[in-house]
Amino acid sequence: MRASVLKKYRNVLESKRNEILALPVRSTEVDEAMRTGDWVDHSSQENDLHVNLALKQTDTKLLRAIEEALQRVDSGTYGICMDCEEPIADARLDAVPWTRVCIDCKQSQGG
Ligand SMILES: [Zn+2]
């Protein structure tokens, strides 16, 4: 995979990771604002609350998958299926940048 393409996926993975890592902090701030009645002084936090709720389903499994994908970027194996060792299609990497396997292997695993 070309360095410029790798860099693109690294950026995508890092921004997604930062998004997840930022959640607990943001959640605490919102809780604190609601508890103290400080809400009106933080008008932007209403928006954050919606983001927080939307991403509540995000779990540590996704974070781990992203960390592993970043390690594969560093080791030069990113974009290679971990099962059949064939290149993973760009369309699949664009849709799921932290994927470990190609679409064929994913389907043969039954999910
Ligand atoms: Zn495969």
Q: For position 32, what pLDDT does the model report?
A: 67
Identify whether 84 is part of a domain.
Answer: no
Identify the domain containing residue 65 by its residue range.
3-78
> Could you read off the pLDDT of 57-75 as tens digits, one per residue?
556 789 999 999 999 999 9
Identify whether 88 is part of a domain.
Answer: no
> How many Å lie between the centroid of ligand 1 and the Cα of residue 81?
5
Spell out, as residue ranges, where the chain has pLDDT lower than 70.
23-34, 37-59, 110-111
> How many Å lie between the centroid of ligand 1 and the Cα of residue 30?
43
> How many Å lie between the centroid of ligand 1 and the Cα of residue 108?
9
**What are the φ and ψ backbone dihedral angles of 80, each rounded to 5 degrees?**
-105, 130
Q: For position 2, what pLDDT does the model report?
A: 87
Identify whether 96 is part of a domain.
Answer: no
Q: What is the DSSP letter of 93?
A: H
Identify whether 50 is part of a domain.
Answer: yes
Q: How many domains does the chain have?
A: 1
User: Which residues, including other chains, have CB under 8 Å from residue 101's CB and lie 6 or more apart?
Assistant: 81, 82, 83, 84, 88, 109
Identify whether 10 is part of a domain.
Answer: yes
> How many Å lie between the centroid of ligand 1 and the Cα of residue 90?
13
Q: For position 19, what pLDDT does the model report?
A: 86
* Contact (Cβ atoms closer than 8 angstroms) between residue 79 and residue 87: yes
Identify whether 61 is part of a domain.
Answer: yes
Tell me the β-bridge partners of 87: 80
Q: For position 39, what pLDDT does the model report?
A: 54
Identify whether 58 is part of a domain.
Answer: yes
Token pair for 86: 């064939």
Burial letters for 75-100: b for 16+ Cβ neighbours within 10 Å, e otherwise? eeebbbbeeeeeebeeebbeeebbbb
Q: Is the pTM of this model over 0.85?
A: no
Nearest CA to 106 among 97, 94, 88? 88
